[in-house]
Amino acid sequence: MSRLKVLFLYPNGKGMTMLPPGISLLSAVLKREGFIVDLFDTTQYDSVEEFEKKETLDHKKTGEDKMQFRPSPQHEKVIVKYTNVYEDFRKKVIDFGPDLIAMSCTENMFLLGIALLRKIKDLKVLTLAGGIFPTFSPKLALSYDEIDIVCKGEGEAALPLLCRKLEKNESYEDVTNLHIKKKNGDIKVNPTGMINMDMNPLIDVNLFEESRFYRPMSGSVYRMFPVETHRGCPYKCAFCNSPSTMEMYKTEAGTNYLRRKSFEQMSKELLFYKNEMKAEYLYFWADTFFSWSQKDLETFAEIYQEINLPFWCQTRPETITKKRIEIVISMGLDKMSLGVEHGNYEFRKKYIDRKMPNYIISDALNLLHDMGVRTTVNNIIGFPKETRELVFDTIRLNRSFKTYDRSVCSFVPFQGTPLRKLTDSLGYTKPNDIQGSLMAGASYDMPQLGRKEIAGLVRTFNFYCSFPEERWHQIKKAEEDSPEGNKIHNELKKEFMDKYWSKSISFEQAAAENDPHATLPT
């Protein structure tokens, strides 16, 4: 009997180069049962034309232009594709002949996926959409003719069961986690279930070209792999999907979504990356790496001694302690990202549901700096109700601590986040709006803070945080997207890169020019 064929579709922007762990895992689950799997991945395409959003998908270039990513060399093994992505996708579908196309997508890449699927609509292939966007907007996803099924939540059990039923030509209407569009347009909604993470196989790296194993980090390029330790997050940031994920599983499955793999499973996976995949660097993608208990972190550190590879992780400022940092430094921590998001305590507490005072943030970052940890802090501009003055509270908070890099993006109200409900209620967004790239700029205007002003503040954010305050009048001119503004911006960018990113001067020396003891709201 010929086995069922599944083609994974991964619509993604250039520069977003981390190997997608979800697709890698689902491919391994399907191959374990003997199904035939292939992939179409848009990450390495130089350009994607005819995309509905008409926005840049080159995240690496956009980030470098805004001084958020340090320029990295073109690695000899990293391939860029210059052919037509739509023609290549159609050819892949015709040549492979899938019985099912499984698209994994975030909201900002959903319409790119739809644009690709429209190019093969005449081939009439059953199509499933999964990922964070379809999970929180299944009806919206299914309103597109190109989508037949949505997987809500985890797919490790649902997808192989669906494939078994398709292969046997059986009804799949009762498969847990699936929302299925019937011929009359009605949607069959099935219960939500949760899997045992320790039952999963190792991710399928053979699905990807070797070029996809290489990723830029802090100006260098490494052979890097994503490592899953946890699912879920104990915090409730209003711009994030995690609170809704936790609530969904609590309400619909009666269980706590936050959990970690066993140490035995993690050890097995880490040794695989080190010994078989020859990893040079690991990327822990837990929402909050320090959601470990102290005892569990110490146990994990013992396991990691055998791995001895540099790694990146992310956590929150209030989880930082000297003891925890000593542990991860001993493990081989290379870089840590922390969310600052906003610099006004009252605004941050009321609208973003992040309740730590400012001194916790600055103390944590300065402690990390003093202990020699390279950090990236993440900031967001353009929250609903935000003003220009509030943006400068974020800038001043950033000036109160030392960090290796700063990232900033305009706020995007994604489906399934608490703040999306607020933007809908204010009329900034409509319930069925689909949001675009984090790098594309603000998605709405506010009376007190418009898109153009937000874009200007994003592109000059690192100037405001780094240069002396007496130069702010010059930086303000660089906010404007005009011949004069762009000329000043380019001059400031060169000076910034020479002064703050030059290898001839340490970031500690450059940061020392700022006053680390600025008065801040607490």
Q: 183: buried, middle or exposed (CB in 10 Å: 19+, 13-18, 0-12)? A: exposed
What is the average per-residue pLDDT within 159-187? 96
Is the per-residue pLDDT at 52 higher than 60?
no
Residues with Cβ within 8 Å of 474's Cβ and at least 6 positions away in sequence, in order, are 488, 492
What CATH number is attached to the domain comprising 83? 3.40.50.2300
According to the model, what pLDDT value does residue 67 have? Answer: 57
192/283 same-domain check: no
Asked if residue 75 belongs to a domain, the reply is yes
192 and 307 both lie in a single domain: no
Cβ neighbours of residue 168 closer than 8 Å, sequence gap 6 or more = none
Are 348 and 497 found together in one domain?
yes
Between 502 and 34, the higher pLDDT residue: 34
Residue 59: is its pLDDT beyond 50? Answer: no
Residues 170 and 85 reside in one and the same domain = yes
Q: Inform me whether the pLDDT recorded for 463 exceeds 90.
A: yes
Confirm whether 336 is domain-assigned.
yes
Closest residue by Cα to residue 439 from 407, 485, 468: 407
- Shared domain for 232 and 189, answered yes or no, is no
257 in any annotated domain: no
Question: Residue 502: is its pLDDT beyond 80?
Answer: no
Q: Select from 148, 179, 197 the last residue of a domain.
A: 197
Q: How far apart are CA 435 and CA 136, in angstroms?
A: 13
Mean residue pLDDT of the chain comes to 90
d(CA 165, CA 458) in angstroms, rounded, equals 49
- State the total domains in the chain: 2
| 391 and 466, same domain (yes or no) | yes
Percent of the chain with pLDDT over 90: 82
Residue range 160-181: mean pLDDT, rounded:
97
Query: Which pLDDT score is estimated for 501?
Result: 75
Interval 258-291: pLDDT, tens: 999 999 999 999 999 999 999 999 999 899 999 9
Assign 216 a pLDDT band (cuts: 50, 70, 90): confident
- Beta bridge partner(s), residue 516: none
Q: Is residue 245 part of a domain?
A: no
Measure the CA–CA gap between 113 and 110, rounded to whole angstroms.
Answer: 5
Give pLDDT, residue 79. Answer: 79
Instruction: Compute the chain's Rg from CA coordinates.
Output: 23
Going by pLDDT thresholds of 50, 70 and 90, the confidence category of residue 470 is: very high
Domain range for 185: 5-197
Q: Which pLDDT score is estimated for 375?
A: 95
How many Å from the N-terminal Cα to the C-terminal Cα in the chain?
68
Q: How far apart are the C-alpha atoms of 332 and 281, rounded to whole Å?
A: 10
Confidence of residue 517 (pLDDT cuts 50, 70, 90): very low
Can you tell me the distance from the alpha carbon of 13 to that of 444, in angstroms, rounded to the nearest whole number? 22
Question: Looking at residue 220, what is its pLDDT?
Answer: 84
Are 297 and 171 part of one and the same domain?
Answer: no
Dump pLDDT digits (tens) for 217-249.
877 889 999 999 999 999 999 999 999 999 999
**Domain-terminating residue out of 175, 197, 219:** 197
Average pLDDT over residues 70-99: 85
Strands (E), 14-109: 36-41, 100-104
- Is 202 within a domain? no
Are the CB atoms for 415 and 137 separated by under 8 Å?
Answer: yes
Is residue 409 pLDDT above 50, yes or no?
Answer: yes
Over residues 196-203, the mean pLDDT reads: 95
Mean pLDDT of 156-182: 97
Q: Is residue 522 part of a domain?
A: no
Q: Helix axis angle, 107-118 relative to 85-96, nearest 10°?
A: 70
Give the pLDDT band of residue 421 (cuts 50, 70, 90).
very high
Q: What CATH code is carried by the domain that includes residue 333?
A: 3.80.30.20
Residue with the bigger pLDDT between 141 and 517: it is 141
pLDDT of amino acid 76: 64
Statement to judge: residues 343 and 456 lie in one domain: yes
Does residue 501 belong to any structural domain of this protein? yes
Do 316 and 445 fall into the same domain? yes
Has this prediction a pTM greater than 0.85? yes
Distance of alpha carbon 296 from alpha carbon 261, whole angstroms: 11
Lowest mean pLDDT among 240-244, 321-325, 411-415, 507-511: 507-511
Query: Is 519 exposed, middle or buried, given 0-12, 13-18 or 19+ CB atoms closer than 10 A?
Result: exposed
CA separation, residue 440 to residues 54, 330, 494 (Å): 10, 39, 23
Identify which has the larger pLDDT, 15 or 198. 198
**Residue 372 pLDDT more than 70?**
yes
- Are 187 and 269 part of one and the same domain? no
Q: What is the pLDDT of residue 256?
A: 94
The stretch 459-465 carries a mean pLDDT of 96
Same domain, 232 and 174: no
pLDDT band at 515 (very low <50, low <70, confident <90, very high): very low
User: pLDDT tens digits for 88-106?
Assistant: 999 999 999 999 999 999 9
pLDDT in the model for residue 17 = 75
Same domain flag for 407 and 494:
yes
Closest C-alpha to 283, from 224, 213, 342: 224
**How far is 178 from 192, CA to CA, in rounded Å?**
8
Res 228: pLDDT: 94
Instruction: State the pLDDT at residue 64.
Output: 55
Confidence of residue 70 (pLDDT cuts 50, 70, 90): low
Last residue of a domain, one of 197, 215, 247: 197
Tell whether 181 is covered by a domain.
Answer: yes
